[in-house]
Each structure stands twice: as structure tokens, then as C-alpha cells.
Amino acid sequence: MEDRNMIRKERAILALEDGTVYRGYAFGHRGETVGEVVFNTSMTGYQEIMTDPSYNGQIVTITYPHVGNYGVAIYDMESNKPYVRGFISREFSGEYSNYRAQQSLESFMQQYGVVSIQGIDTRALVRRLRTGGVVKGVIAHRSYTHPEDPYGEFTPAEEQVYVQRALGHQDIDGHDMTREVTTALPYAFPTLRQGKRVVLMDFGIKHTIIERLAEVGIEPIVVPAHTTPAQIMALQPHGLFLSNGPGDPAPLEYAHKTAWELMGLLPTFGICLGHQILGLAAGGRTFKMKFGHRGGNQPVKNLLTGNVEITSQNHGYAVDIDSIPNGAFVATHVNLNDGTLEGMAHSRYPVFSVQYHPEASPGPHDSRYLFDRFIEEIDAFDGGNGSPVAKAAAGRLGI
């Protein structure tokens, strides 16, 4: 039975490239959008998800049925704007109650142009994605194409036009998505105390990651994704951080080269896309997962301690640890749901990485110890400003 609260809402559709069409209602910015349709199992954190640059190019389905009830707060932004191509929910709330919030979710979406759909069976959609894998899709609002009749239904012929539009959209595979999200210029993150200078390569970094690094005594300097090894070493850093980011890591050959040339010269920590870049830099392979890991409830086993951590994740690609030659990296963490690699460490150098998000925004805090581990690696390393290792690296890189 149709929800009576939805009857007078403007119509919208979600058309998938396989021909499936879901009929629902418009929410957020009125328009059309196309992207890769994925799902996230988090119960809260919709604002952090929308503003995470790792979702660039994707339409996100939230499995939790009620979204928007606590509004939007400026301090929960993970970047300067939303990067999702679209948003899907069973029901969006037009009202909110939260003393921290400055605006409603719909006004936020309208402000930043986020096209959304509600009122569809998200359980059926998620089962479709889990069974067949992620697909490309289009969200279209009838009020955008038929402003004279926003409450009418799309015709079958119109729906098929959007199916074809989804089918013809460029795949994320093989496409460098970081160019659309990385910073244009380097910048320093202000801290209240002097610490270890670390260069953060920005492939789509989240604000909370920078804040967590600063909390453990690091002076972060964020640089564009295309920054060269010579430019990085000219900053005389004590460490290197490879950030999260969107899409397929394979096309980022410039980043693989930089990570390879700096391997062993600086203590290095990689998260998510940064983890995948390290695997490729060492000669390994990555592969696209059927539907990926996205949510705040992924169980990961730490092979070094035997502990199980509940983690926050957002990725559609994974590293094949067995493909890395000469045992350069060893597995440190695995996913307990499907056995995929979740963390690794270099067998000789102070270089390690995880596939998940230890900054946990949103999500549990089980893995925040990794930021402390990074500063410990930096303190123990004979590197940094004026050290023999840094001088040798500068000489090798022609600085």
C-alpha cells in the first residue's frame, strides 16, 4: 500500500543499467544525476558519508530506514562540500531535532546540489547489489523534466531512456577520480604545539584524519596527489601519510611511483586508497570487489594481537597480498566476513597500512591506536630533518 504521506510528493525514479527501475519520490536538489550505486550499512553519520571525497562518483544507498532526523552540523563536515553523486533512503526526515544542527538535511542537499530519492524498497535494492554487484544508475526527478506535472508518473519509454543513460555512463574502473578531489595547493594544518612534520598526500583526505594525526603530535602538511618525491623530501618531513580517496587505484601510476621511490626513506602510513597504492607500488595487484565494504560495523582481526576490531569502512577495491613479490609486505589484519586483506606491514621498513578508517567518522573507535603507532614509528626511525637517511634521500632525489 502506498504511504499516504508520500502521495502528494514529487515523483522520482532510480534507473539501473541492468534495466531495473525503482519508483519513489524526490528529495533534496531537484534534478538528475548518474553514478555507481553502492550501499552503506551505517546507522548514523549520513553527513560524514556525503562529504567524504572517497564517495566521489557514487550514489549511496543508506540501509538504515530513517535518515535526516538529527539535521546537519557544520562541525561534522569531512570536506568542504558533499562529493556523493546522489543519495537514496527509504525515508528522509523533513524535520530535525539536535542542538548542534544548523539546518535540515534537505536544505543542505539543496544548497550543495545533492539529488536524492526516497520511498523505494531499499532492502530490495541492497539485495540486488549484494547478489549482482554494484551497478551504474540514474536518479531523475519528474519536477525537473516535467515541471508542469511533478506528481505524474514517468512513462515506460522515459524510464528506458534513463536506463540507457546509466548504461552509457563512464565506469569508475580505470578512471583517475583523485584529480577531482585533491587539493590544488599545499597547505599546513594549524596545531597548538610543535610536533613531527608529516607530509599528507591528498587523494581525497577527510578532515577527521588530519585532526587525529594532529592529536598524536604530528604537524600535518597536506600536498596535492601529484606531488613528486623530490618536492616531498624538500619539506624535510619526519614521515609520509597516504590518504583515502575515491575509485580505482590502478590508474594512479604517478602515486605508485612516488610511494615506491620513498619506500624505506620515511615512516609511512596508508589508509584505504593509500593502502592500495602501497600494494601496487610494491608490485602487487588490486581487484574490484563485488559490492565492497561500506559501513561502521565491519569485523577485522588483528593478526598481531589476535584482537577483533569493529571498524568503519568505505572501499570497493582490495589488495591481493599474495601478488606482492618477495614477501615485501605481510598481512596484519583480515576481514572476518570474507577473508580479504585489511592491513599489512613492510617486512623491512617502517611502512604499514590498513584498508579501513581508524579515524572512525562515523564509526567505532577500536582502531584509533594506529595513529599512536604511526608517531611511535616516526620517533623510533633514524630519519627527519638533518638525519643521514634524509640527507641520503635528498641526494638520491637530486634535492
- Please give the radius of gyration of the chain, using alpha carbons only, rounded to the nearest integer: 22
Flag whether 245 is marked binding: yes
Alpha carbon dihedral 45, 46, 49, 51, in 10-degree steps, equals: -110
Chain Cα centroid distance, residue 158: 33
Fold designation for 178-397? Rossmann fold (3.40.50)
Residue 170 labeled ligand binder = no
**Dihedrals φ, ψ of 235, to 5°?**
-80, -5
At 224, phi and psi to the nearest 5?
-65, 160
3-state DSSP call for residue 365? Answer: coil
What pLDDT is attached to residue 110?
97
pLDDT beyond 70 at 398? no
- Distance of alpha carbon 340 from the chain centroid: 18
Measured over the CA atoms of residue 157, residue 162, residue 166 and residue 170, the dihedral's sign is: positive
Half-sphere exposure of 77 (CA within 13 A, CB side): 12
Annotated binding residue 54: yes
pLDDT of res. 399: 45
Name residue 297's amino acid: N
- The answer to whether the beta carbons of residues 387 and 266 sit under 8 Å apart is no
pLDDT band at 370 (very low <50, low <70, confident <90, very high): very high
Whole-angstrom Cα distance, residue 315 to residue 317? 6
Mean pLDDT score of the chain: 93
Whether 261 is catalytic is: no
| 359 annotated active-site | yes
Residue 80 has pLDDT above 90, yes or no: yes
Q: Is 399 exposed, middle or buried (0-12, 13-18, 19+ CB in 10 A)?
A: middle
Answer yes or no: is pLDDT of 147 > 90: yes
pLDDT of residue 387 exceeding 60: no
Rounded Cα gap, residues 239 and 230, in angstroms: 14
Q: In what order do the strands lie in the sheet with 268-271?
A: 187-188, 218-224, 196-202, 239-242, 268-271, 351-354, 341-346, 329-335, 285-302, 308-320
pLDDT band at 219 (very low <50, low <70, confident <90, very high): very high
Name 155's Cβ contacts closer than 8 Å, sequence gap at least 6. none
Residue 79 assigned to a binding site: no
Amino acid at 278: L
Band (3; pLDDT cuts 50, 70, 90)? low
Task: Work out the angle at residue 201's Cα, subtended by the Cα atoms of residues 198 and 206, and round it to the nearest 5 degrees.
Answer: 95
Q: How far apart (Å, rounded) are the C-alpha atoms in residues 393 and 399?
A: 9
Query: Residue 324 has which C-alpha cell?
Result: 606482492
- pLDDT tens digits along 165-190: 999 999 999 999 999 999 999 999 98
Give residue 2's pLDDT: 47
> Mean pLDDT over residues 220-244, rounded?
97
H helix or E strand, kind and range, residue 178: none
Q: Residue type for 52, please?
A: D
pLDDT confidence tier of residue 379, bands split at 50, 70 and 90: very high
Annotated catalytic residue within 10, 48, 359, 377 = 359
Q: pLDDT value at position 193? A: 74
Average pLDDT over every residue of 36-46:
96
Tell me whether residue 272 is one of the annotated catalytic residues: yes
pLDDT in tens, 317-327: 999 999 999 99
Beta-strand pair 218-224/196-202: parallel
341 and 327 in contact (C-beta within 8 Å)?
A: no
Q: Does the annotation flag 276 for ligand binding?
A: yes
Where do the structural domains in the chain lie, given as residue ranges? 11-168, 178-397
Of residues 253, 251, 284, the one with CA closest to residue 353: 284
For 132-154, what is the mean pLDDT?
95
Q: Which three-class secondary structure state does DSSP give residue 219? A: strand
CB 58 within 8 A of CB 37: yes
- Please identify which of the residues 272, 293, 346, 377 carries the catalytic annotation: 272
Query: How many whole angstroms separate alpha carbon 37 and alpha carbon 129?
Result: 8
Q: What is the pLDDT confidence band of residue 7, given thresholds at 50, 70 and 90?
A: low
pLDDT over 70 (residue 27): yes
Give the residue-averaged pLDDT of 295-316. Answer: 96
In the structure, what pLDDT confidence band is assigned to residue 142 with cuts at 50, 70 and 90?
very high
**Fold entry, domain 11-168:** Glucose Oxidase; domain 1 (3.50.30)
For residue 255, give Cα distances in angstroms to 178, 277, 373. 10, 7, 24
Residue 254, pLDDT > 80, answer: yes
In DSSP notation, 27-71 reads EES-SEEEEEEEEE--SS-HHHHHT-GGGTTEEEEE-SSEE-TT-
Give me 277's grid cell: 597504492
Q: Interhelix angle for 273-281 vs 253-262, to 10°?
A: 70
What average pLDDT does this structure show over 270-275?
A: 98
Phi then psi for 82, rounded to 5 degrees? -70, 145
129 is in an annotated binding site: no
Q: Is the pLDDT of residue 53 over 60?
A: yes
- Please tell me the predicted confidence (pLDDT) of residue 386: 39
What phi and psi values does residue 48 have, to the nearest 5 degrees? -65, -40
Catalytic residue among 238, 333, 346, 357: 357
CA–CA separation, 73 vs 60, rounded Å? 20
Residue 24 annotated as binding site: no
